[in-house]
Structure 1
Amino acid sequence: MAAIGEFVGPVRQPVEGAALQSSPLYWMYEMSHAALNPSRAMADVSRLLFKNPINPVSHTPMGKSMAAAFELFERTTRRYAKPEWGITDTTVNGHRVPIHINAVWARPFCRLLHFEREFAQPLRRPQPRLVIVAPMSGHHATLLRGTVEAFLPTHDVYVTDWLDAKTVPLADGRFGLDDYVDYLISIFHRLGGDCHVLAVCQPAVPVLMAIARMEAEDDPYAPKSMILMGGPIDTREAPTAVNALAKDKGIEFFRRNVITQVPWSHAGATRHVYPGFLQLTGFMSMNLDRHVKAHYDLFGHLVKGDGDSAEKHREFYDEYLAVMDLDARFYLETVESVFITHALPTGQMQHRGQPVKTQAIHRTALMTVEGEKDDISGIGQTKAAHTLCPRIPEAKRAHYMQPGVGHYGVFNGSRFRSEIQPRIADFILSQEFPRAVDMDGANVTALYPR
């Protein structure tokens, strides 16, 4: 059987076509950022001056307010770099285990990171391999730091680390939805099929596509199970504001208004992209009042000297405000096929000119997870995967809806750690040991490798 990941054949027609024009949008953004550099530097110096304990003014309400104002200005006008993972160890069976992060597979737009645990003594039974497919939707894979940390004690974790499109030279080619699927299939081949895959939000669609193509070809390296979390499998179900915007505007609106070229100051100069700063604007505009209040609260914490609360704000926004550009081809193809034409649930989706037959999936188990208050992927959009995969046996499928959480809470936070992650771990083990583990997870704990 030919390896689908290496398939060369008819390529999906680029939806951006020749209609894309060179837009000055990115250049204007770069110029405005550069113009603020002197003011930002002055604000940072002034902040240090008003926080210096030698300065008597720093102990007054006015001095504290000035220091807080300067920090707020500097933070709201800076460019945030890709955060570090900051994961150095975990706890397995009560023992501290060092973590080494290694890239074990690489392509121009992605690296597969292995969070390798250095055990003093080998485990009696290997723990399940889990490939976490991070969303390629503007934020870096480090947004899933909490997700990774939750699985490290009980799983051998791999994560897709998508690269910022502005750092990828144009000579490395374009990147579309077909390429995304090819990457996933290549990763599953690299791991020999001995893995489970967890897709967070956007990658739910390409993961389902990749496994459907592998199953249709009887590929022996298809993952043992797929867990789809808060993903837009069928956006006709409980459409959200995000879905409605795409449907109402149409693909031409996005092609004309949000696609621009990377400036010459970056390695990916002249590449057509959907820039991260526009994506961030869209993220924040959905809950603008909440973000404004958070920054207002930060000012108050700084004035009062509440260092713990201020640091929590910094940690969250250092991650949230660090964004990356997406190749225009991938972005436009995703918007059109997932949100406008609903190609996957209507049976029109193709990969490299071949139909994507989700009904071919029968060996890979399926679990879907949704959040009750998810305002990005509405209730039922992810669960629709079960309807599209009728040949998966009942013993190899599960669905869970977490009460009281929004989109972010589906894959991070206290309820994820205490209620969602254990259910996913149980489901994975039920596929590792199908005869010994009941589907309710009642016998799972006793089977965990020690």
Structure 2
Amino acid sequence: MLYTLYEAGYHASTPFRFAALAARQFWSSPLNPAAETEAGRRLFAVSDLVTNLTRRYGKPAWGIDKVAIDGQEVRVRPTEVWSSPWARLTHFARDRADLRRAGRRELEPAVLIVAPLSGHYATLLRGTVEAFLQDHEVFITDWSNARDVPMMEGRFDFHDYIDHVREMLRALGPRPHVVAVCQPGPPVLAAAALMSEDGEESRPASMTFMGSPIDARLSPTVTNRLAEERPFAWFESNMIYTVPGPYPGMGRRVYPGFVQLASFMSMNLDKHQEAHLRYLQQLMDGDGDSAEKHLEFYDEYLSVLDLTEEFYLQTVDVVFQRYLLPKGELYHRGRHVRPDRISDIGLLTVEGENDDISGIGQTQAAHDLCSSIPAELKEDYVQPHVGHYGVFNGKRFREEIYPRVRAFIRRTDQAFDMGDVAA
């Protein structure tokens, strides 16, 4: 019922939204002699803010058509190389001629970035992709919005997620590298453990976990405490709603993106209010550059997708309530998941000092679970002065975290090439 009411509210506000849009266009028109007056700028600012607060935010474009490599501009073309109803595997193919001009003639490591399926689109990792493109063949999981998947396509749950990760790694060929950002940590570790035990040729050469809840019992955050304090039935009753028409997934039970967004924003409501008030003042002051940065952030932040009922509830149960992976009790399709049997995959964990989503220690827990990986193929890093978002995006990620990840990937490749570790 809530989903239907949400849609009804959006459509009911259409006249108000169109009025605000018309006012914004009027007060920003160069033909309006009053546009540059103080009153004109104020009216434009208010109408612009109202328009942005009431509009629908669709999936953002990647907007990655080039990357600078050693001072040389290299063209980039996103290409779909594998797909299912639930995800697309996107390869950011770099132009080979441009790479040669940049002095890159050898094949560079393939990296699968596993984007979180936790409410936002994979484009939230745009900055992550741009950084890795400097030195790698980059692939990323682009998850589907559950409301857009017809009921005839069936279910998608936690175990389907593990299977998808395995299939995508296979699509990359022998010994790719995998980077799990936040939520994917447990299923990616499970996939790697199963592939390692099976001796699959496409098992990862290294796995990097960034701000991931490998063991959510450690340094619990507000998010962790909510999952612990509420009974499982509460999540079933209060977080799951039915997709209304005319969406292709009409009738599917989902955890709506707008519910997730409301939860995220409520955690830092004061900061979001202050940000919008600053944006209003920036528009009135004519500070276009600062206002543009605000829009870039919120265009991404406010774009959300729905999760299937089964995936969301299983994640709550498996990762945040019963902690099956760190307790050694996770089974996948009847098989016991054994990270302790991984011996030839490098392991890097990255955490943020001020992460309020995945507390310090939750990602580091992977080292204890992967007890058979040699010490020379393990590394842990805690980035000072960053929160959750800063672990995979922003200036400190580009200048301090990414170089460490790049060096680790190179080091594991060299170790396997030289035969230091049995492959």
Q: TM-score range by the shorter chain?
A: over 0.9
Q: Identify the residue that residue 347 of structure 2 maps to in structure 1.
A: 366
2:202 is matched with which residue?
221
Amino acid at match of 1:30: E
Does 2:242 correspond to 1:265? no
- Residue pairs, 1:34-113, within 5 angstroms: 34-113=11-90
Shift of 1:39: 0.6
| Deviation (angstroms), 1:435 | 7.8
Does the 8 A contact of 2:74 with 2:98 survive in 1?
Answer: no
Equivalence map 1:416-435=2 (5 Å): 416-434=397-415
Which amino acid in 1 is paired with 2:72?
A: H
Deviation at 1:257, TM superposition (A): 0.3
2:235 and 2:174 map into 1 onto residues whose CA distance is 37
Look up the equivalent residue of 2:387 and give its one-letter code. Answer: G
Corresponding residue to 2:259 among 278, 294, 300: 278
Tell me how far 1:59 sits from its aligned partner: 2.7
Q: State the alpha-carbon separation in 1 of the partners of residues 195 and 264 from structure 2.
A: 34
Supply the distance in 2 between the matched residues of 1:387 and 1:134 (Cα, whole angstroms): 24
Query: How far apart are residue 229 of structure 1 and its match?
Result: 0.3
Tell me the equivalent position of 2:326.
345
Per-residue Cα deviation, 1:219-267 (whole angstroms, up to 9, x for no partner): 2321100000000000111000000000001211110001001111101
Assess, with a 3 A threshold, how the Cα gap between structure 1 residues 363 and 71 changes in structure 2: closer, same or farther.
Answer: same
Tell me how far apart the structure 1 counterparts of residues 95 and 36 of structure 2 sit (CA, whole Å).
48
TM-score of the pair, normalised by structure 2? 0.96
- Choose from 415, 420, 430 the match for 2:396: 415
Following TM superposition, by how much is the alpha carbon of 1:121 offset from its aligned partner in structure 2, in angstroms? 6.7
User: What do residues 86-115 of structure 1 show as CA deviations (whole Å, max 9, x unaligned)?
Assistant: 011112333221111100000111000000
Name the structure 1 match of 2:368: 387
- Secondary structure in 2 aligned to 1:91? strand
Q: 2:268: which partner in 1?
A: 287
Residue of 221, 232, 254 corresponding to 2:235:
254
2:75/2:98 contact within 8 Å kept = no
Structure 2 residue 218 is the aligned partner of structure 1 residue 241: no
How far does residue 436 in structure 1 lie from its aligned partner after superposition?
9.0
Residue identity matched to 1:113: T
- Give yes or no for the alignment of 1:212 onto 2:189: no
One-letter identity of the residue aligned with 1:243: N
Q: What CA deviation, in whole Å up to 9, does each residue of 1:60-87 have, x standing for no partner?
A: 2222111111111111111101110101
- 1:183 corresponds to which of 155, 161, 164: 164
Matched, 1:309 2:286: no
Separation in 2, partners of 1:122, 1:49: 47
CA deviation vs aligned residue, 1:389-429 (integer Å, no higher than 9, x gap): 10000111100000000000000000000000000000000
CA contact (8 A) 2:38 2:284 kept: yes
* CA deviation profile, 1:352-405 (whole Å, cap 9, x unmatched): 122111111111111000000000000000000000010000111100000000
Q: Quote the Cα distance in structure 2 between the aligned partners of 1:209 and 1:436.
A: 25
AA of the residue aligned to 2:365: A
- Equivalent residue number for residue 106 of structure 2: 125
Give the letter aligned to residue 124 of structure 2. L
- Alpha-carbon distance in 1 for matches of 2:199, 2:139: 24
Amino acid at match of 1:299: L
**Cα displacement string for residues 288-332 of structure 1 (whole angstroms, at most 9, x for unaligned residues):** 111000000011011111110111111110011000000110000
Report the more deviating stretch, 52-61 or 209-218. Answer: 52-61
What is the aligned counterpart of 1:144 among 114, 125, 130? Answer: 125
Show the counterpart of 1:334. 315
Gaps spanning 5+ residues in structure 2: where? 419-423
Aligned position for 1:5: none
Paired amino acid for 2:378: R
Higher RCO (CA-CA < 8 Å; seq separation 6+): 1
Q: Cα RMSD (Å) of the superposition?
A: 1.4
Q: Which residue identity lines up with residue 36 of structure 1 in the other structure?
A: S
What is the alpha-carbon distance in structure 2 between the residues aligned to residue 344 and residue 250 of structure 1?
Answer: 20
Aligned equivalent of 2:421: none
Which stretch shifts more, 121-130 or 206-215?
121-130
Hey, what's the Cα distance between the residues in 1 that align with 2:30 and 2:18? 21
In the TM superposition, what is the alpha-carbon distance from 1:349 to its structure 2 partner?
Answer: 1.0
* CA shift in 2, pair 1:155/1:63, >3 Å: same
Which one-letter code corresponds to 1:241 in the other structure?
A: V
How far apart in 2 are the matches of 1:155 and 1:421? 12
The answer to which of 209-218 and 175-184 deviates more is 209-218
Residues 120 and 354 of structure 1: is their aligned pair in 2 closer, same or farther, counting only changes over 3 Å? same
The residue type equivalent to 1:102 in the other structure is: T
Distance 1:286 1:295 in 2: 16
- Partner deviation per Cα, 1:137-188 (whole Å, 9 max, x = no partner): 0000000000000111111100100011111111111100010000011111
One-letter amino acid of the counterpart of residue 244, structure 1: R
SS in 1 for 2:299: helix
Partners of 1:121 and 1:102 lie apart in 2 by: 17
- Structure 1 residues not aligned, in runs of 5+: 1-23, 438-450
Aligned-partner residue type, residue 109 of structure 1: W
Kept in 1, the 8 Å contact 2:82–2:168? The answer is yes
Per the alignment, do residues 75 and 207 of structure 1 end up closer, same or farther by CA in structure 2, a change over 3 Å counting?
same
Point out 4+ residue stretches in structure 1 off by more than 6 angstroms: none
Task: Give the superposition deviation at 1:119.
Answer: 1.8
